[in-house]
Amino acid sequence: MIVSNFQGVARKLAQKLQSVGISNEAVLNAIATTPRHEFMPESLAHQAYDNTALPIGKGQTISQPYMVAKMTELVLETTPQSVLEIGTGSGYQTSILAQLVTKVYSVERISSLQYQAQRRLKRLDLHNVQLRHGDGWQGWPSKAPFDAILVTAAAERIPEKLLEQLNPAGGRLIIPVGGQSQELLVVERQGEDYQQKSEGTVKFVPLIQGDLA
């Protein structure tokens, strides 16, 4: 039922997100028209349009739709052209971004997840995305600077490399930071000045540094 007629349940999910504070119409429309069930194991497809994070294997999760929408809203506040995503995962957040900005670059350290995400994005005809197998802590220097960088896992501290790769004229980093206790931070760059604010407490899997899988 979900696979053949997902639009109804996806639309209800978007309405639910609107009722809890998501106001950007473009974000809500992307949520309402994106087949989230295609980004997870078939065994969990019946939960695809619940507002909850779900496991996708390799110790990773597909983020809660509210958090995907919230972080995308924060990205779009400065009307970016070029966005770097750290942690492709299932590719769901990537697909939402790709519908709303000109160019998306995404880095994933687990090669099997990157491969699956690439296939999904191609199937959905989203061709403004470039994927890379790499260490998210290092960003993607050759494609910098970025108007926005969105991180989908929690770092123990803000990676310096990501700050360096922000557009000096208002580039914005959206990142969960912390261990047991995490905060969603927004860091905005103006030249060599970085302004930081918190968007509240969150819970993400850790952003692993170093070894690729």
Tell me the pLDDT tens digit for each residue of 23-74.
999 999 999 999 999 999 999 999 999 999 999 998 899 999 999 999 999 9
Say if residues 104 and 96 touch (Cβ distance below 8 Å). Answer: no
- CATH number (domain holding residue 158): 3.40.50.150
Distance CA 65, CA 107 (A): 20
**Does residue 32 sit within a domain?**
no
**Does residue 38 sit within a domain?**
no
**Does residue 182 sit within a domain?**
yes
Tell me the pLDDT tens digit for each residue of 84-135.
999 999 999 999 999 999 999 999 999 999 999 999 999 999 999 999 999 9
Whole-number average pLDDT of the chain: 95
Q: Which residues contact 44 (CB under 8 A, 6 or more apart)?
A: 54, 55
The answer to whether 63 is a known catalytic residue is yes
User: Which single residue is written with the structure tokens 């709303």?
Assistant: 100
pLDDT at 1: 39
Query: 121 is in which domain, residue-wise?
Result: 52-202
Find the distance separating the first CA and the last CA of the chain, reported in whole Å: 35
**Does residue 14 sit within a domain?**
no
Distance CA 149, CA 162 (A): 8
Nearest to 126 by CA among 29, 62, 54, 30: 30
Distance CA 202, CA 185 (A): 10
DSSP-assigned letters across all residues of 86-141 = E--TTSHHHHHHHTTSSEEEEEES-HHHHHHHHHHHHHTT--SEEEEES-GGG--G
What tokens were used for 139?
A: 């960003």
**Does residue 71 sit within a domain?**
yes
Q: Which residues contact 22 (CB under 8 A, 6 or more apart)?
A: 28, 66, 69, 70, 73
Q: Which of 19, 23, 43, 63 is catalytic?
A: 63
DSSP-derived letter for residue 149 is E
Strand partners, 144: none
**Does residue 168 sit within a domain?**
yes
Distance CA 183, CA 180 (A): 10
The total number of structural domains in the chain stands at 1
**Does residue 180 sit within a domain?**
yes
**Does residue 5 sit within a domain?**
no
